[in-house]
Amino acid sequence: MSYIAVKGTHDIYGDEADGYSYIQNVFRAIAELYGYRGIETPILEYTNLFERSTGESSDVVRKEMYTFLDKGERSVTLRPEGTAGVVRSIIEHKLYATSDLPLKVYYTGPVFRYERPQLGRYRQFLQAGVECVGEDSPYLDAECICLAMQTFSMLGFKNLKLKVNTLGDAETRKKYRDALQEFFASKIDDMCDDCKQRLKLNPMRILDCKVPEDQERVKDAPKMKDYLSPEAEERFYKTLSIINDMGIEYEIDDNLVRGLDYYGHIVFEVHALSDAGKDYGALAGGGHYDGMLSTLGGPSEYDSGVGFGLGVERLYSMMKDNGLLNDVAHKLDIYLMPIGESVLDECYELLENIRLIGYSAIMPFKTAKLGSMFKKAERSGAKFALIIGDEELEKGVAQLKNLATKQQKEVHLATLDEELDAAFAEIEEHEEGCDCPQCQEKNEQKAE
């Protein structure tokens, strides 16, 4: 009997785990720059939360949720997206009444969708997202888009494509749905079963259909922009002018409707292009939502919100393909090498002290030949080896070897913190002043 990960899930370890941490750390740092604070909500929620907010007409709710009865016969669901849980939490704790508005929160965590697993598509994947709730302004919508774009550019993406569309206000969407229903009525018999359902539940979803023949039929469908109320139109172009003033380029995509039911006004997706112009698909998607708080029993005066979610798996694989993760794998600072059993106790004490100073360090706890320890030190990626035998201990010194340059010098254990600080500062200076290809690459990355 062998055990394997559940279909569509995956383990994250080694360089990949370092990459995921890096992406999440950059995302958190940028979100905090924009005044967002962290929030963690449970992965498990009562099923009706998603039915009510994410929407019964969305593919996610109709087909993709991991829903089951718990031992108390309550229907619970592994969250398929982040927004519903966050909004539920805001209402449950009346955060709109006890905090200044808008409430700005960010989260990272796993979400679950029963989709067909394929490249870049998992059943458990990691999303990072923000929600800004309780105040309505095109500036907040634009700011949210800037935050998303800023995150990607901090991660090193250069060729980004921002696709935007408006889903208008409630009046616009009503008129537009009617127009779509009329347009597709004569075509629907030849369309896929999903589209037949969509026509009844929410015809805007048809625009999102991935079946090639249906996509052809969608091309001539009425466009949302022709049904916008004057207010919704003004709102859309105001938001676009703000992001335009921030130097962000965008492309209006009439068929961008997003998969979830709660959106209104501006919706967006960020795509990344490879140097060869290849579109990797959506890295992040989001938009403005109205009515979500009141739909879930909260007060309607705080109903407006805007947010986005990005998929860490997709981001990671694109960054890896484009060489944007070359320098983010966790590097060890020091590999401590005890020469002989007799120095193990002292070396272990020293190891803990080095960690307290703030340098990452490991050592082997079994004695080994110097050559084999050097091989392990190099494999560990450590910057320095610190070598200590009986003779060194007696003199209160150690040999500090730079594993890249192979230069070695004696350091005093009594002043080890200063000696290590100086040695690491030297590496930094070396990189800055050096014109070898590796150092130049690092310097360019730092400068960016």
In whole angstroms, the minimum distance from the beta carbon of 120 to ligand AMP comes to 6
Interface with ligand AMP includes 318 (CB under 6 A)?
no
In whole angstroms, the minimum distance from the beta carbon of 26 to ligand AMP comes to 16
Interface with ligand AMP includes 314 (CB under 6 A)?
yes
Residue number, 115 or 135, with CB nearest to ligand AMP: 115
Computed on alpha carbons and rounded to an integer, the radius of gyration of the chain in Å comes to 27
Candidates 311, 334, 361, 411: give the one binding ligand AMP (CB under 6 A).
Answer: 311
Secondary structure of 332-356 in the HEC alphabet? CCEEEEECCHHHHHHHHHHHHHHHH
In whole angstroms, the minimum distance from the beta carbon of 109 to ligand AMP comes to 12
Tokens found for residue 187: 């075509």
Interface with ligand AMP includes 20 (CB under 6 A)?
no
Interface with ligand AMP includes 180 (CB under 6 A)?
no
Using an 8 Å Cβ cutoff, are 138 and 231 in contact?
A: no
Whole-angstrom distance, CA of residue 51 vs CA of residue 184: 26
Stretch that binds ligand AMP, among 209-217, 306-314, 320-328, 370-378 (CB under 6 A): 306-314
Interface with ligand AMP includes 284 (CB under 6 A)?
yes
Residue number, 237 or 280, with CB nearest to ligand AMP: 280
Candidates 20, 22, 112, 125: give the one binding ligand AMP (CB under 6 A).
Answer: 125
In whole angstroms, the minimum distance from the beta carbon of 43 to ligand AMP comes to 15
Interface with ligand AMP includes 59 (CB under 6 A)?
no
Tokens found for residue 269: 């997706």
Interface with ligand AMP includes 271 (CB under 6 A)?
no
Strand segments (E) across 236-351: 251-252, 263-273, 279-289, 305-311, 334-338
Give the nearest residue (CB) to ligand AMP: 311
Place of tokens 């950059």: 26
Which amino acid is residue 86, in one-letter code? Answer: V
Whole-angstrom distance, CA of residue 240 vs CA of residue 259: 22
Cα angle for residues 284, 285, 290 (degrees, 5° grid): 150
Candidates 54, 127, 172, 239: give the one binding ligand AMP (CB under 6 A).
Answer: 127
Tokens found for residue 22: 């890096």
Q: Which run of H or of E encompasses 92?
A: helix 83-92
Interface with ligand AMP includes 309 (CB under 6 A)?
yes
| Helices 138-154 and 14-33, axial angle in degrees (round to 10) | 150
Stretch that binds ligand AMP, among 9-17, 160-168, 277-285, 380-388 (CB under 6 A): 277-285
CA 169 from chain centre, in angstroms, equals: 29
Residue number, 322 or 367, with CB nearest to ligand AMP: 322
Residues that bind ligand AMP (CB under 6 A): 81, 113, 115, 120-122, 125, 127, 259, 282-285, 309-311, 313-314
